[in-house]
Structure formats: structure tokens, C-alpha cells
Amino acid sequence: MQFIDLAAQYQHLKTRIDKRIQNVLDHGQYIMGPEVQELEEKLAEYVGVKHAITCANGTDALTLALMALNIGEGDAVMVPTFTFFASAETVAYAKATPVFVDSDPSTFNMCPVDLEKRIKTVLAEGRLNLKAIMPVDLFGLPANYPEIQKIADKYNLKIIEDAAQGFGGEINGKRAGSFGDIATTSFFPAKPLGCYGDGGAIFTDNDEYAELIKSLRVHGKGTDKYDNVRIGMNSRLDTIQAAVLLEKLNEFPKELTNRNKVAACFTQKLDGMLRTPKTPEGYISSWAQYTVVSEKRMEIMSLLEKNGIPTVVYYSTCMHEQTAFVNCIDLGLYPVAESFAKTVFSLPMHPYMADASVNKVIDAFKKDFC
């Protein structure tokens, strides 16, 4: 059994993907070819925003968003502590300070209550210029943007949505990638919408941000590519990756339906044996991972491995505990996030998961834990 079966997906889309790649090989425009513009238009349409700007990877997407908002030394950005390293890394790379926020115990995402508490602490200390909030759509579920937006408006802060795992998720019909001032995503192969290499994208309704990001991703170029009007970076999506993503995006709605069917089956059968993930009313998750909670994590993972069922832990070390952030601003304890780091693990999840594989996971739990 595969944890994420990319080979099954490729076999399903093989004829279409191969044809797309062959078209790129035929026209030879490997960098910023026509497929890139086509993909950007279709991504913007799918997400429901005016602008989608592709780039080399999801980490660069966050960096470009921070650059567009002119966030740098002396500034602070609120970031969840229970997430992948890139979220806080890009803030530090911009020479700004990541300020960590505890998790919501019901969703794994940034806790709005803890967020406001820590914003007040930072403002009271007066050492940093608080500029933005960077929520993460963890495991495929959008963060609580209705509440986070209220807090951002109250304190005049920008929102950068990190939808690297959340592409395809929704809140009341509004799709991930459309929240806040700027949103980003990743096309890393294991993501809900992934390419066959690396890639990323930035989403916004702001025309000024969009034009700035388009310049920044290509060395800060002006109207003439040899007239660079600002310091930027080299972060372009390869045309072949855009070609792959075009076919995957066409299939994505069906895949999202399949992911939700697998998740619903797991939740129905496993709830009670361990803590299963819950989707709040009005939300849709893209199920980047199906993550459960148990105090017996290591015992369960070991038994599942013996049954040929792979599992993965995301994330065993919180951001505030990482060596790189040992000297970061200390705002006290993070009890919920630290508990998750010790108890969460993820089960196999992908849109081509056969019923037999789903049942195998469920039967293993029934056999060993009932």
C-alpha cells in the first residue's frame, strides 16, 4: 500500500499528460512557455481571484508574498507553531521575526483566541512592528479566516494565506487561495494538486501586488527584461511542470470528491478508536493528509506497519522548539501544539485509494484495537 500513490494517478492521466509534455518538447519554450500563462488563467478562475502568478516552489511563493508586502527587519509576522518549517523560515529569511501562535484543539490550525492574545503581547512590548498574520491551511482544512480576518481588521494587519496543503478546500463556497490579501500554494508532488517536480503559485485580487510579484519572480525586471527596476529573485515555473498541472487541474474536482469519500469512510469507521479529524460546518477539506490523534501513537504505527500500512508523523517538533528559532521571541507556552506534536500521525490518503486498501486500514484497527 502506498501512502500517496502518484503512480496510480499518472497511469490514469498518462495519455493526456504525455501529450501535454510532448507539446512542450515540440515547441521548445521550456521557461515561461504558453502553458504557464494558460495555467495561471485557469488557476485564477478555479480559486476565484483576479491574479494567479506561478513560481518555482511554495517556499518562494511565501517569500514573494512577504517581499510584495515590504516585510523586513524590525517587522513581525504571526505564524502557527504547529506547521512545516517553511512558514516561519521565509519570515526569518526576510529578516523579520516570526511570532508563534498555538493551535486550535479542534482543527489543528492557528487558534484565533491565542492569536489575539499574542498580538496584544507583541504590541504591549513595543519592540517589533507587527505587520501580518500568516495562517496555514493545515492538512487540507482552511484556517478560521472569518475570525482571523476580524482580528486582522481590528489591528490593521495583512493576511498571507499559506494554502500549500489547502488547495481545493473551501469555507462557505469560498476557495482556499482566495483568503486574505495574498495567498500562496505549493505544487510539490505530494500536495493535493502536485506537479512532477516543484512549483508554486501566488494568488491575489490586488493589481498592484500582482504586477510587483510578476517583476520580483524574474529578477525584478521592468518592461524590458534587461532593465531591472528592483532587486528580485529567479523563481519561474518550468513549462513542463505547467503542462502536467494543466491536466491534473482538469481532473482535480473528481480527485477532491474521491479524497472526501475516503476521509468520510475513515471517520465513520475509526471514530471512537482514536480521535479523527473534524471538518467544521461550511468547510470543505482537500485532505492533504488524514491526520488522527492518539496517546498510543508509536504502538499503533508499529502495528500498522506490520500489517503493511504506511503512516507518517506531521509534525513532531513545533516551530518554537526548532534549533533555528531557539533565540526567537518567547511568548510563553504552546500546550495544544506541543500535545499534537506528541500524538498525531497520518494514514494513507490519495484520490486513487481502492476500497480494498481503505478496508485494510479499517480492519487493522478493528483487529488490534477493538
Give pLDDT tens digits for 204-229: 999 999 999 999 999 999 988 788 89
Global pTM value: 0.96
Work out whether the CA dihedral 172, 178, 181, 187 comes out positive or negative.
positive
Q: Are residues 121 and 151 in the same domain?
A: yes
Q: Per the domain annotation, does 1 fall within a domain?
A: no
pLDDT over 90 percentage in the chain: 94
CATH number reported for the structural domain that contains residue 355 in this entry: 3.90.1150.10
pLDDT in tens, 39-54: 999 999 999 999 999 9
Backbone angles phi, psi at 291, to 5 degrees: -110, 130
Bridging pattern class, strands 170-171 and 97-101? unpaired
Query: Whose grid coordinates read 493545515?
Result: 138
Indicate whether 117 belongs to any domain.
yes
Confidence of residue 101 (pLDDT cuts 50, 70, 90): very high
Q: Which is nearest to 144 in space by CA: 132, 155, 156, 133?
A: 133
Dist. CA 132–CA 117, nearest whole Å? 15
One domain, residues 64 and 86? yes
Confidence class for position 370, pLDDT limits 50, 70, 90: low
| Axis crossing angle, helix 297-306 with helix 355-369, rounded to the nearest 10 | 120
Task: Give the structural domain span for 196.
Answer: 6-101+109-248
327: confidence class by pLDDT, cuts 50, 70, 90: confident
- Percentage of the chain surpassing pLDDT 70? 99
Does 330 score more than 80 pLDDT?
no
Q: How confident is the model at residue 131 (pLDDT cuts 50, 70, 90)?
A: very high
Same domain, 266 and 202: no
Query: Per-residue pLDDT tens for 66-91?
Result: 999 999 999 999 999 999 999 999 99
Domain end position, chosen among 219, 248, 277: 248
Among 190, 219, 248, which residue terminates a domain?
248
- Asked if residue 116 and residue 20 are part of one domain, the reply reads yes
Do residues 243 and 275 share a domain? no
Do 51 and 191 have their domain in common? Answer: yes
Residue 315 grid coordinates? 509534525
Average pLDDT, the chain: 96
Task: Give yes or no for residue 345 having a pLDDT over 70.
Answer: yes
